[in-house]
Amino acid sequence: MPHDTPLIATIVAGLGLAFVFGALANRFRIPPLVGYLVAGVLVGPNTPGFVADAGLANELAEIGVILLMFGVGLHFSLKDLLSVRAIAVPGAIVQIGFATALGAGLAWMLGWSMGAGLVFGLALSVASTVVLLRALQERRMIETERGRIAVGWLIVEDLAMVLALVLLPALAGVLGGQEQADAHASGLLSLPASYGIWGVVGVTLAKVAAFVIVMLVVGRRVIPWILHYVAHTGSRELFRLAVLAIALGVAFGAAKLFGVSLALGAFFAGMIMSESELSHRAAEESLPLRDAFSVLFFVSVGMLFDPFSLLSNGLPILATLAIIIIGKSLAAFVIVIAFGYPLATALVISASLAQIGEFSFILAELGVGLKLLPEQGRDLILAGAILSIVLNPLMFLVIDWMKPWLEARAARKAPAMEAKPIGPATEPGQVVSVAAAAKGGDGPPPRTELTNHAILIGYGRVGNLVGAALKKAALPFLVIEDADKTLAKLKADGIETVSGNAANAEVFAAANPEGARRLILAIPNAFEAGQIVLRARAANPGINVIARAHSDAEVEHLKGLGADTVIMGEREIARGIVEEVLGSEVEQTSGY
């Protein structure tokens, strides 16, 4: 190599191996994130061979966190956030308290100091943003009520950790560690230890509040203005750049100037952008980068992991894991149920929070640095994080499996339950979330009863017009659609739906392609459409397939895979324009 390029090496090795092992994991029907973690272990210092730069990998992963939280913010309004505070605030606080107590208990059994117990417990109490958001996104739950509660809960945890990170150095002396005035330098406005505990808490909260106010007052005006300005330049490149610069800039500024976490800063940047009509475009602009960087998050976690520590620390690791996935879940479950939410909500929240990640590592590092936490504590936290992340998809399977059983028990115990209006569960937002619950984030979607029907895929600009025509002609059909908002509209219109990505085998099978007469592909992505055509032909050689395309190459591609008719959008638009022009010429000439 001509010169040293650790950043490039880290990105290439990280993304390359993550891709290989992610694909492999997928092949064996294991969640791809397990593959990403394995890739991380391989490029990490604990296995022989190439070693990537852990510090760089970590920072790259932070970018992933920023973009993820930014994306979530784009789907949130301040109103959404405030609407879940009644459950998210007490829920997160009680759960943090409970998990911290359990962690401190384990620390006590291991003979550690009280300070060690506190740090250890706190580290076990915060869930990972990346793991939670990806789990919710995969199940299309972010925009349901359950998703909003989980995200709100996460934000409260995030705030609590911001506090913990500034408080620990100030308290280290009292807790039996090493007092360090500037151990956590939170940027320009870092706090001298002489403020005292309440002073530190006060100043930290004041800084968070100042950030929120600045965003609501200044950001709210400036950010949409920038976006509109850039949109008018007509340069797509500049628009993408603007979105990225705002997301990263606000997050970084929040962290450096206000001592708020990067994730929280990005969330606010997204939330402010969501108030402008351009937000959807903005969200899409940041998608590919977001996915790539969040993969690097898992790689960087894998890098920290020493597989041999599993052998020497067996029992304590099991206990740590039990606190994370059983202790925390139980606490969350009980709280959510106590607030009168439905069982399904409680289960989803428990499962999504039953893991730990980036914040726990930061806390562990800080604890070790302050001589509060023994090195063994950090190893336990790391092992607990890896294992709980790997097991997290399993948790969702477990709740799918437990739900019917718990429901049956609940029904037996309290048959009159349903009639009782139960607090927050009867808010208007609930209608949507019931629809969302029925649409099967959990388990395969139920199979349709229709036969001799048309399967319409996509209900956007094209699909909704086709659907309206089919309905008018009283032809039997159903729609496969994967956008929550569109699904809600379809339900309201009383049109049968299968929810999910039609390229997914289970989802597609639920539409009964064997018994269908016609398949209408009204989605813009020709790659996905091609996969679906193949699948449909395999299931039903006689089915009539009509597809949508946007270029001649796509027409070829889809016909090659077996579509009977392919309508090229741009050609039809041109036809409409030509008709309009020539028609008006005719009118004008005949008018004279």
Neighbours of 448 (CB within 10 A): 19
* Close Cβ partners of 36 (under 8 Å, ≥ 6 residues apart): 18, 21, 22, 295, 298, 299, 302
Nearer to ligand AMP, 172 or 555 (CB): 555
Give the shortest CB-276-to-ligand AMP separation in angstroms.
Answer: 20
Per CB under 6 A, 227 contacts ligand AMP: no
Give the shortest CB-256-to-ligand AMP separation in angstroms.
Answer: 38
Per CB under 6 A, 483 contacts ligand AMP: yes
Nearer to ligand AMP, 41 or 547 (CB): 547
Give the shortest CB-444-to-ligand AMP separation in angstroms.
Answer: 15
Per CB under 6 A, 567 contacts ligand AMP: no
Q: Give the bridge partners for 126, in sequence order.
A: none
Closest CA to 545 of 553, 556, 536, 554: 536
- CA 328 vs CA 122, 355, 421, 573: distances in Å: 12, 9, 28, 56
Binding range to ligand AMP, per CB under 6 A, among 266-274, 321-329, 374-382, 521-529: 521-529
Which two structure tokens, joined as six digits, stand for 557?
A: 């591609």
Closest CA to 162 of 120, 99, 207: 207
Binding range to ligand AMP, per CB under 6 A, among 46-54, 135-143, 208-216, 458-466: 458-466
- CA 583 vs CA 304, 468, 569, 588, 589: distances in Å: 69, 27, 21, 9, 10
Binding range to ligand AMP, per CB under 6 A, among 27-35, 115-123, 309-317, 518-526: 518-526
Residue number closest to ligand AMP, CB atom = 460
Contact in structure between 360 and 123 (CB atoms under 8 Å)? yes
Give the shortest CB-505-to-ligand AMP separation in angstroms.
Answer: 12
Q: How far apart are CA 152 and CA 536, in angstroms?
A: 41
Nearer to ligand AMP, 306 or 482 (CB): 482
Give the shortest CB-81-to-ligand AMP separation in angstroms.
Answer: 25
Binding range to ligand AMP, per CB under 6 A, among 32-40, 187-195, 419-427, 476-484: 476-484
Q: How far apart are CA 450 and CA 513, in angstroms?
A: 10
Nearer to ligand AMP, 357 or 467 (CB): 467
Total of residues contacting ligand AMP (CB under 6 A): 20
Edge-to-edge strand list for the sheet holding 518-521:
497-499, 477-481, 454-457, 518-521, 544-549, 565-568
Give the shortest CB-350-to-ligand AMP separation in angstroms.
Answer: 29
Among 224, 528, 544, 567, binds ligand AMP (CB under 6 A): 528
Nearer to ligand AMP, 296 or 566 (CB): 566
Q: How far apart are CA 18 and CA 37, in angstroms?
A: 8
Per CB under 6 A, 457 contacts ligand AMP: yes
Give the shortest CB-536-to-ligand AMP separation in angstroms.
Answer: 13
Closest CA to 496 of 469, 463, 456, 461: 456
- CA 491 vs CA 412, 428, 441, 500: distances in Å: 31, 16, 16, 14
Give the shortest CB-466-to-ligand AMP separation in angstroms.
Answer: 10
* Close Cβ partners of 280 (under 8 Å, ≥ 6 residues apart): 74
Give the shortest CB-532-to-ligand AMP separation in angstroms.
Answer: 7
Give the shortest CB-273-to-ligand AMP separation in angstroms.
Answer: 21
Which two structure tokens, joined as six digits, stand for 69?
A: 């939280």
Give the shortest CB-485-to-ligand AMP separation in angstroms.
Answer: 9
DSSP H or E stretch at residue 499: strand 497-499
Give the shortest CB-131-to-ligand AMP separation in angstroms.
Answer: 25
Per CB under 6 A, 561 contacts ligand AMP: no
Among 154, 272, 437, 503, binds ligand AMP (CB under 6 A): 503
Per CB under 6 A, 458 contacts ligand AMP: yes
Task: Restricting to residues 262-321, name those near ligand AMP by CB under 6 A.
Answer: none
Nearer to ligand AMP, 253 or 463 (CB): 463
Closest CA to 380 of 110, 163, 100: 110
- Compute the chain's Rg from CA coordinates: 26
Alpha carbons within 13 angstroms on the beta-carbon side of residue 193 total: 15
Nearer to ligand AMP, 147 or 265 (CB): 147
Residue window 399-438: x/- pattern of binding to ligand AMP, with contact defined by CB under 6 A: ----------------------------------------
Binding range to ligand AMP, per CB under 6 A, among 263-271, 340-348, 386-394, 453-461: 453-461
Give the shortest CB-323-to-ligand AMP separation in angstroms.
Answer: 39
Looking at residue 217, the DSSP 8-state letter turns out to be I
DSSP H or E stretch at residue 544: strand 544-549
Burial class (CB in 10 A: 0-12, 13-18, 19+), 93: middle
Nearer to ligand AMP, 409 or 461 (CB): 461
Say whether 51 sits in a helix, a strand or coil: coil
Per CB under 6 A, 459 contacts ligand AMP: yes
Neighbours of 249 (CB within 10 A): 13
Per CB under 6 A, 480 contacts ligand AMP: yes
Looking at residue 481, the DSSP 8-state letter turns out to be E
Task: Restricting to residues 16-75, name those near ligand AMP by CB under 6 A.
Answer: none
Binding range to ligand AMP, per CB under 6 A, among 66-74, 211-219, 413-421, 499-507: 499-507
Per CB under 6 A, 460 contacts ligand AMP: yes
Closest CA to 168 of 371, 319, 434: 371
Among 502, 510, 533, 558, binds ligand AMP (CB under 6 A): 502
Nearer to ligand AMP, 157 or 285 (CB): 285
Region for residue 276 given its phi and psi (left: phi exceeds 0; alpha: psi -120 to 50; beta: otherwise): beta
Contact in structure between 531 and 475 (CB atoms under 8 Å)? no
Among 47, 190, 376, 501, binds ligand AMP (CB under 6 A): 501
Binding range to ligand AMP, per CB under 6 A, among 136-144, 222-230, 427-435, 497-505: 497-505
Q: How far apart are CA 54 and CA 348, in angstroms?
A: 33
Which two structure tokens, joined as six digits, stand for 26?
A: 């997928």
Where does this chain bind ligand AMP (CB under 6 A)? Answer: 457-463, 480-483, 486, 501-503, 522-525, 528
